[in-house]
Amino acid sequence: MNPGKQFEENFKKSVPEDTYYLRLPDSSIGFDIEHSTQRFALKSPYDTVLYRKGRMYSLELKSVGKGAISYEGSSPKIKEHQIQELIKAAQYGIVSGLVCNFRNTENTYFLPIANFEFLRCESKKKSFNENDIKGLSVLIPHRKLRVNYRYDLTVLVGGD
């Protein structure tokens, strides 16, 4: 399993039992676009929806080994339509943002979409790294199992 999918699986297994979890499906075309019979693919607005105690969360999960998470350029990790959908969800009072996993430091952060927008407007960069989001994001505590991780998502969805 690739590291990004493994991170998503670890995240899913970390969701508290009293929290609704929905993984939105990815496009079904995959990589064989040339031989596909589909004329177009739906674009997922973001990866995951959580719901707990009257509060909804729309989240895009990203994992990177070394370096930065791009949001502009020829093949950005975060697509513009995902950014716009997270902004739209936030306008309805939904907690929206990016869950960014930096595998080289083993740190994971929740970056609210409003703070991402601030970073994007203030910076002339096309990507961000871990240092760029410190102070704008919430560090999600984790514990390492033998190979996988469990995240303490109560910092995101609240305790009790």
Q: Are 7 and 148 in contact (CB under 8 A)?
A: no
Mean pLDDT of 58-72: 94
Name the pTM for this structure: 0.88
pLDDT at residue 34, as a whole number: 55
Quote the CA–CA distance of 110 and 97 in Å, as a whole number. Answer: 7
Residue with structure tokens 């869950």? Answer: 99
Q: Among 8-12, 46-50, 105-109, 119-123, where is mean pLDDT lowest?
A: 119-123
Predicted pLDDT of residue 124: 83
Q: Closest Cα partner for 43 from 78, 69, 12, 71?
A: 78
Determine what percent of the chain is predicted with pLDDT higher than 70.
Answer: 89
Asked whether the predicted pLDDT for residue 30 surpasses 70, the reply is no
- Check pLDDT > 60 for residue 44: yes
Reported as a pLDDT band with limits 50, 70 and 90, residue 39 is: low
Q: Which two tokens stand for residue 1?
A: 């399993």
Tell me if residue 12 falls in helix, strand or coil.
helix
Separation of alpha carbons 109 and 38, rounded Å: 36
Overall average pLDDT of the 115-144 stretch = 94
Give the pLDDT confidence score for residue 37 in this predicted structure: 53
Say what the pLDDT of residue 67 is: 84
- Average pLDDT of the chain, as a whole number: 90
Contact call for residues 48 and 64 (beta carbons, < 8 A): no
Question: Which two three-digit tokens encode residue 70?
Answer: 């791009």
pLDDT digits (tens, 9 = 90+) for 78-118: 999 999 999 999 999 999 999 999 999 999 999 999 999 99
Residue 76 Rama label (left phi>0; alpha psi -120 to 50; beta) = beta
Torsion of CA 67, 68, 72, 74, to 10 degrees: 30
**Domains of the chain in sequence order:** 3-26+41-157 (3.40.1350.10)
- How high is the pLDDT of residue 27? 62
The per-residue pLDDT for 25 is 87
